[in-house]
Amino acid sequence: MKQFEDNTSVLRRILDNISNIESLLLTTTEESFLNNLKDYNAICLEFIQIGEKVNLLSDDFYNLHPSVPWHELYGLRNRIVHGYDKVNKSIIWATLQQDLPVIKSEIQDIINQ
């Protein structure tokens, strides 16, 4: 059963995880991410934590803010945790480059409303 927290607090903590990922990406290239277990593991841990925090939000909150891919973020967490050896690193890299900046912006917009 979900245990709900203050939504804004959860969102701020998700932004902290995104900030951690951004810091890691400052010194990580695509080649390093794909071939260096340390970089990959560090970033995947942040995604796992984001997924855990997303799960603290209510379904009503998800429905109020459908522009954020809540279920996909939790699904990514599940994929990393339960199918770690089957995760396509290139898809994770593309998510980092294409989706994460948009998700960050959308979460910041929600907080600022």
Please identify every residue annotated as catalytic.
Answer: 77, 82
Closest CA to 46 of 8, 111, 100: 100
Instruction: Report residue 55: phi and psi, to 5°.
Output: -70, -10
Distance, in Å, from the CA atom of 43 to the CA atom of 96, rounded to the nearest integer, reads 9
Largest CA distance in the chain: 40
Closest CA to 73 of 2, 1, 17: 17
Alpha-carbon 69 to chain mean position: 10
